[in-house]
Amino acid sequence: MKVLMFGWEFPPHISGGLGTACYGLVKGMAHHNQELIFVVPKLWGDEDPLAEFVNASDVEIDYRERRFRQIWKNLTYLEVSSFLIPYLDPEEYRKYTQRLKEDNEGLDESVLSNKFSFSGKYGKDLIMEVSRYALVAGQIAKNKDHDLIHAHDWLSFPAGIAAKSISGKPLIAHVHATEFDRSGQTVNQQVFDIEKAGMEAADKIIAVSQLTKNTIVQKYGIPESKVVVVHNAVLDTSIIKSKEEKKVPEKIVTFLGRITFQKGPEYFVEAASKVLGKDENVRFVMAGSGDLLNRMVQRVAELRIGTKFHFTGFLKGDDVDKMFALSDVYVMPSVSEPFGISPLEAVRHNTPVIISKQSGVAEVLQNAVKIDFWDIDAMADAIFALLHYEGISRMFKEMGREELKRLKWEHVAERVIKIYKETIKK
Amino acid sequence: MRTICFYFQVHQPFRLKPYRFFEIGDDHYYWDDFSNKSIIRKVAEKCYLPMNNLLLELIEKHQGRFKVSFSLSGTLLEQLEVYAPDVLESFQRLVATGKVELLNETYAHSLCSLKSKSEFESMVNKHQQKIKDLFNGYTPKVFRNTELIYSDGIGKMVHEMGFDAILTEGAKHILGWKSPNYLYENALEPKLKVLLKNFRLSDDIAFRFGEKKWSDYPLTTDKFVKWINQIPHEEEVLNLFMDYETFGEHQWAETGIFEFMRHLPEAVFSKTNFGFNTPSEVVAHASPVGNINVPTPISWADEERDLTAWLGNDLQDEAFDRLYELENKVKKSKDPEIQRDWNYLQTSDHFYYMCTKFFSDGDIHAYFSPYESPYDAFINYMNVLSDFILRLKNEK
């Protein structure tokens, strides 16, 4: 059984959680010797050789193939300028639309050349890249033998659909996040349509959590029986003993993630203010960047907690580990989180976690305080308790460690391979 | 005699280095030596050195009839001592001519006059001492507050510290129908004279000089002298107050600003009945026409001429309040580094960088800020302040 898999990014060149999840899954597959062709828009050459990689930028499209024209015709609707980067401030927006105007003049040319060079990023030409990716996917499906197609998230759904229309093999759509998680109630209709088309064209859908499955069923009208839940795992379940020493006398409570609507940063700020009202010996840290950052800074100033609430900006590599290591409590107050891997990273650093009930990870991690994202009183309570009552935080640390060991990508891959087999049988 | 009074503000802050959360409690040195040094050197070459030379030349040429005044902030003087002794020397030469008056201000160019009388006094004394030390015992008689911030109450404090006069903005909303071209008295302490900036003619030089879209561009000495002659005959004093960096830095040499200044005194002497005086001379010769009421503080900044460039938004108020609640603790500390940082942290520029008035005067704020946004400025300042608070706590 050979699987043709379409992703969007692959470590080390990633900017989102999707790349990490794909990496984990591919690694798990390799553990079970599952044959895999992994396609990404752009390969950098330093990827871990776990599968047969195909660089979409290298694929030459044979425009004489009539079926491609059909695919192309279906895709051209995507080309209309769309504002996909969901959070732009007015200045960025101006620059962006300006660029868009300039770029549109050169658009047709790239359609006519045989190769298309992808950036593989989440930039301004995202929709264009998504549709080109689909065209290339059709060519790959023609060139490479395979028994099943597996596509990750909406970015590669058109690719999955195109491949299926060429080879006729079954398609599995893997949903790591939906447009509702990314944008709240103001969904981008174009993205929603692509997601829905992908789900409908798929023979089976894998959702990363029950929460995500519910969204798929309720918002996209997909029959329940078509969706299976397979939770994500962690790449490395070992406990990290850090030598990092804390330089401040206070305890540290951390929020780490994009500072966007989806992550619920404002609830963290409000809870911080409540805790600081009772206990001065705490520092709060908001690590990350995003469109709500300035609003959070503003709110911290308004609440007059500026000397006890800090912002680090976007953290990379070692600094992320350092931040986890320095933290006494980790809070993930996400409003909507299909899975959410970072609390598991916190557990690896022996840091007790508070997570919102509105996150997929709450379904697998038992030893964590779970609260509703909007319940800032409960959040403040939980923070205070984990900081002051040694017993409960020790218990969470110890039991969390045990739980982590069960969350391995090999187990995930095993389940996915079983789904492959069942799907092919049908 | 009718007179023009030039006053130039010379100030540079100690800018903070990027100071991250991880450094709190660990790294107690906050200052961006590299950027402070390179900025001082750049401004020295473009402005301080050529303009000082020009002024020296003009003073000699006009045999004492051309005079100017300066306020040199303490944070500037410290940086000149370390990074630009050549500039300091040339200021010393200027003062030695006897035709240059030095004014007193707050050592760190701070906003403390709005918050704490005791800190205000100590910053004024510290500045006075620095001037004495560097300028051969020179003792300023006239005061100018940071950014020309002034109110009746501030004037009263300044009078109590023994000054004869203070400089401030001739803001429209305090003058009403009155002209800035007279000497005024403080409303609470008539002994304190008040000199008001003629903002139209000052800003023609400071802001509009090189502005090609300005209907009066280019500004020539002939044109400027013509405007001076349009001032009603009974009005005696024309106060031209501006940042010294106007010359060569805000208005580049290519705009002709140096040539303008080179020829201005001559044009004034030959075509008008004005001369040049320093603030002390103005106070000695002109007679005050009445008092000026300024119940709430004004400044020379932005269109509003109020304090909103430094204070008023939540970021600024939070940083300002958190800083000044430390005053008593700092006063008890004997650590010279604590004292130094306390001074530098008060510099008004830090609060200026946090200004969010993007849409009216944001451009000029962005030009002077080392930060990408006022939020970045706040984050960095508060990280530093948090470490400073820890150091104070760990004392004793």
Q: Are residues B75 and B161 in the same domain?
A: yes
Number of neighbours of residue B246 by Cβ within 10 angstroms:
22
Checking if the pLDDT of B314 tops 50, the result is: yes
Question: For position B365, what pLDDT does the model report?
Answer: 58
Contact: A307, B21; criterion CB under 8 Å: no
User: Looking at the domain assignment, is residue B223 inside a domain?
Assistant: yes
Decide: A361 and A344 in contact? Cβ < 8 Å: yes
d(CA B178, CA A391): 74
Question: For position B300, what pLDDT does the model report?
Answer: 92
Report the residue of chain A nearest B21, measured CA to CA.
A312
d(CA A409, CA A232): 7
Distance from CA of B343 to the nearest CA of A (A): 19
d(CA A242, CA A233): 22
- Which of these ranges, A202-206, A229-233, A366-370, B46-50, has the smallest mean pLDDT? A366-370
Distance from CA of A194 to the nearest CA of B (A): 37
- Chain B CB contacts of A286 below 8 Å: none
Q: Are residues B50 and B199 in the same domain?
A: yes
Checking if the pLDDT of A124 tops 90, the result is: no
Q: Are residues B140 and B260 in the same domain?
A: yes
Q: Are residues B267 and B343 in the same domain?
A: no
Confidence label for A295 from pLDDT (cuts 50, 70 and 90): very high
User: Looking at the domain assignment, is residue B367 inside a domain?
Assistant: yes
d(CA B337, CA A17): 45
- Mutate which: B20, B22, B391, vs A, most A CBs within 10 A: B22
Residue A365 identity (one-letter amino acid): L
Checking if the pLDDT of B20 tops 70, the result is: yes
User: Looking at the domain assignment, is residue B173 inside a domain?
Assistant: yes
User: Looking at the domain assignment, is residue B275 inside a domain?
Assistant: yes
Checking if the pLDDT of A100 tops 50, the result is: no
% of chain A residues with pLDDT over 70: 85
pLDDT tens figures, B119-142:
999 999 999 999 999 999 999 999
Distance from CA of A249 to the nearest CA of B (A): 8
Number of neighbours of residue A147 by Cβ within 10 angstroms:
15
Checking if the pLDDT of A286 tops 50, the result is: yes
Q: Are residues B63 and B208 in the same domain?
A: yes
Distance from CA of B344 to the nearest CA of A (A): 18
Contact: A297, B375; criterion CB under 8 Å: yes
Question: For position B211, what pLDDT does the model report?
Answer: 93
Whichever domain contains B254, its CATH number is 3.20.110.20
Residue A189 touches partner B, C-beta closer than 8 Å: no
d(CA B292, CA B178): 9
User: Looking at the domain assignment, is residue B386 inside a domain?
Assistant: yes
- Of B78, B147, B185, B249, the active-site residue reads B147
Contact: A293, B386; criterion CB under 8 Å: no
Of B23, B313, B322, the CB nearest to A307: B322
d(CA A144, CA B26): 57
pLDDT tens figures, A362-385:
999 988 999 999 999 999 999 999
Q: Within a 13 Å sphere around the CA of A112, how many CA atoms are in the beta-carbon half?
A: 4
| A contact residues 61-80, partner B, Cβ 8 Å cutoff | none
Contact: A312, B24; criterion CB under 8 Å: no
Instruction: Show Cβ contacts of residue B300 under 8 Å, excluding neighbours closer than 6 positions.
Output: B147, B148, B168, B169, B197, B199, B241
Distance from CA of A85 to the nearest CA of B (A): 21
Q: Are residues B62 and B170 in the same domain?
A: yes
Contact: B22, A319; criterion CB under 8 Å: yes
Contact: A310, B383; criterion CB under 8 Å: yes
Checking if the pLDDT of A85 tops 50, the result is: no
pLDDT tens figures, B343-392:
999 999 999 999 888 644 545 556 678 898 899 999 999 999 999 999 99
- Chain A CB contacts of B22 below 8 Å: 247, 312, 319, 322, 326
d(CA A246, CA A244): 7
- Chain B CB contacts of A313 below 8 Å: 379
- Mutate which: A94, A305, A311, vs B, most B CBs within 10 A: A311
Q: Are residues B280 and B349 in the same domain?
A: no
Residues B310, B313, B319, B323: what is their CA dihedral angle, to the nearest 10 degrees? 60
Question: For position A42, what pLDDT does the model report?
Answer: 82
Residue A315 touches partner B, C-beta closer than 8 Å: no
The pLDDT of A92-104, averaged and rounded, is: 47
- Chain A CB contacts of B388 below 8 Å: none
| A contact residues 230-259, partner B, Cβ 8 Å cutoff | 246-249
Question: For position A382, what pLDDT does the model report?
Answer: 95
Contact: B314, A307; criterion CB under 8 Å: no
In Å, what is the CA distance from A305 to each residue of A11, A280, A296, B16, B374?
Answer: 38, 10, 12, 21, 17
d(CA A42, CA A13): 10
Task: Kindly list the structural domains of chain A, giving each domain's residue range(s) and its CATH number in brackets, ordered by start.
Answer: 2-233+409-425 (3.40.50.2000), 251-405 (3.40.50.2000)
Contact: B24, A247; criterion CB under 8 Å: yes
DSSP A419: H
ipTM entry: 0.84
The pLDDT of B303-319, averaged and rounded, is: 92
Checking if the pLDDT of A105 tops 50, the result is: no
User: Looking at the domain assignment, is residue B122 inside a domain?
Assistant: yes
Checking if the pLDDT of B279 tops 70, the result is: yes
Q: Are residues B55 and B133 in the same domain?
A: yes
Contact: A247, B318; criterion CB under 8 Å: no
DSSP string covering A148-210: EEEEEHHHHHHHHHHHHHHH---EEEEES--HHHHHTTS--HHHHHHHHHHHHH-SEEEESSH
Distance from CA of A287 to the nearest CA of B (A): 10
Checking if the pLDDT of A96 tops 50, the result is: no
Confidence label for A79 from pLDDT (cuts 50, 70 and 90): very low
Q: Are residues B164 and B77 in the same domain?
A: yes
What residue numbers bound the domain in which B267 lies? 2-292
Q: Are residues B219 and B359 in the same domain?
A: no
Instruction: Show Cβ contacts of residue B56 under 8 Å, excluding neighbours closer than 6 positions.
Output: B90, B93, B94, B97
Structure tokens at A297: 């800074």
Of B24, B373, B375, the CB nearest to A248: B24
Number of neighbours of residue A403 by Cβ within 10 angstroms:
18
**Based on the structure, what is the number of domains in chain B?**
2
A257, A401, A400, A240: which is closest to A333 by C-alpha?
A257
Instruction: Show Cβ contacts of residue A397 under 8 Å, excluding neighbours closer than 6 positions.
Output: A350, A351, A352
pLDDT tens figures, A376-416:
999 999 999 999 998 888 888 888 888 898 899 999 999 99
Q: Are residues B133 and B12 in the same domain?
A: yes
Q: Are residues B283 and B349 in the same domain?
A: no
Bridge pairing between strands B193-197 and B183-186: antiparallel
- Chain B CB contacts of A312 below 8 Å: 20-22
Q: Is B147 designated active site?
A: yes
User: Looking at the domain assignment, is residue B225 inside a domain?
Assistant: yes
Of B314, B386, B390, the CB nearest to A298: B314
Checking if the pLDDT of B23 tops 70, the result is: yes
Q: Within a 13 Å sphere around the CA of B372, how many CA atoms are in the beta-carbon half?
A: 5
B299, B305, B311: which is closest to B356 by C-alpha?
B311
Question: For position A346, what pLDDT does the model report?
Answer: 92
pLDDT tens figures, B161-219:
999 999 999 999 999 999 999 999 999 999 999 999 999 999 999 999 999 999 999 99
Checking if the pLDDT of A91 tops 70, the result is: no
Instruction: Show Cβ contacts of residue A136 under 8 Å, excluding neighbours closer than 6 positions.
Output: A56, A59, A61, A116, A159
Question: Which residue reads 């006009």 in tokens?
Answer: B62
- Mutate which: B314, B387, B395, vs A, most A CBs within 10 A: B314
User: Looking at the domain assignment, is residue B234 inside a domain?
Assistant: yes
Question: For position B74, what pLDDT does the model report?
Answer: 98
Checking if the pLDDT of A75 tops 60, the result is: no
